[in-house]
């Protein structure tokens, strides 16, 4: 029995020693060594990053001498600033792409077909057209009011107009000019609305045709050009 106990103890000791050696081997395998060649050409090694080689590549070696990875130089403050700026630009571009995708999907939900888009265009133009008609009617009234003033002014041929007539003509001139400018603005707004809907429709046709949302970039509706309105000529005063 005593001999049997000795044998068991020896086996246990052997197993413990094997486990210990295996643990040490694992630890050795995970050990790493930094190595580099400094500015003077000297090879340096350390168990941590080497300050003398902060501006050059350092090789991180496994315990068996194989290269685990190459550690690039520590970036300077200017390089860090450039990298951070590049990261911000990349983040902004990602956000813009996501925004373009969201906007395209919303556009397709609002306008599932060309008929719905056409109705929306007409609705947007309707108020402007009404305003143009009102301004044109106002111009006709002002022109009618101007005629008797001009008739009266003919009696002052070669003479200075009376203050009252001069004031009435000036007021009529100002009102006519304001209405002409208003009509110009309304006509320009009509052109801007049509240009915006044209841009949308072109994009929608591509989306309806299978283009991926966001693949055409951001819809820049603000860039829709408005046709230049011609300058209104002021009527000559007699």
pLDDT greater than 90 at residue 197: yes
Helix (H) or strand (E) holding 143: helix 114-153
Looking at residue 114, its pLDDT comes to: 96
Looking at residue 223, its pLDDT comes to: 54
pTM for the whole structure: 0.55
For the chain, state the CA radius of gyration.
42
DSSP assigned state of 222: G
For residues 156 and 237, the answer to whether their CB atoms sit within 8 Å is: no
For residues 37 and 43, the answer to whether their CB atoms sit within 8 Å is: yes
Q: What is the pLDDT of residues 145-167, one digit of tens each?
A: 999 999 999 888 888 989 999 99
Looking at residue 219, its pLDDT comes to: 74
Quote the Cα angle for 112-114-118, to 5°: 115
Banded model confidence at residue 190, pLDDT cuts 50, 70, 90: very high
Is residue 219 classed as helix, strand or coil in its secondary structure? coil
pLDDT greater than 80 at residue 171: yes
- Identify which of 186, 181, 183 has the alpha carbon closest to the alpha carbon of residue 127: 186
Share of the chain above pLDDT 90, in %: 64
For residue 107, give both structure tokens. 């556009």
Distance from C-alpha of 76 to C-alpha of 74, rounded to nearest angstrom: 7
Q: What is the pLDDT of residues 77-110, one digit of tens each?
A: 898 899 999 999 999 999 999 999 999 999 999 9
């Amino acid at each position: 029995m005593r001999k049997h106990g000795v044998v068991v103890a020896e086996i246990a000791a052997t197993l413990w020693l094997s486990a210990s050696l295996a643990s040490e081997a694992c630890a050795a395998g995970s050990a790493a060594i930094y190595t580099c060649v400094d500015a003077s050409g000297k090879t340096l090694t350390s168990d941590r990053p080497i300050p003398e080689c902060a501006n050059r590549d350092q090789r991180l070696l496994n315990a068996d001498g194989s290269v685990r990875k190459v550690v690039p130089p520590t970036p300077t403050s200017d390089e860090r600033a450039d990298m951070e700026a590049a990261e911000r630009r990349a983040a902004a571009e990602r956000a813009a792409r996501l925004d373009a995708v969201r906007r395209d999907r919303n556009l397709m939900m609002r306008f599932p077909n060309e008929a719905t888009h056409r109705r929306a265009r007409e609705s947007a133009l309707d108020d402007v057209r009404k305003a143009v008609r009102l301004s044109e009617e106002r111009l006709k009234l002002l022109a009618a009011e101007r005629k008797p003033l001009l008739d009266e002014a003919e009696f002052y041929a070669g003479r200075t107009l009376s203050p009252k007539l001069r004031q009435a003509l000036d007021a009529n001139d100002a009102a006519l000019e304001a209405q002409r400018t208003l009509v110009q603005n309304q006509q320009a707004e009509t052109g801007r609305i049509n240009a915006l809907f044209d841009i949308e429709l072109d994009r929608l046709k591509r989306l309806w045709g299978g283009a991926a949302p966001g693949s055409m970039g951001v819809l820049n509706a603000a860039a829709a050009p408005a046709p230049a309105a011609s300058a209104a000529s002021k009527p000559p005063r007699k």
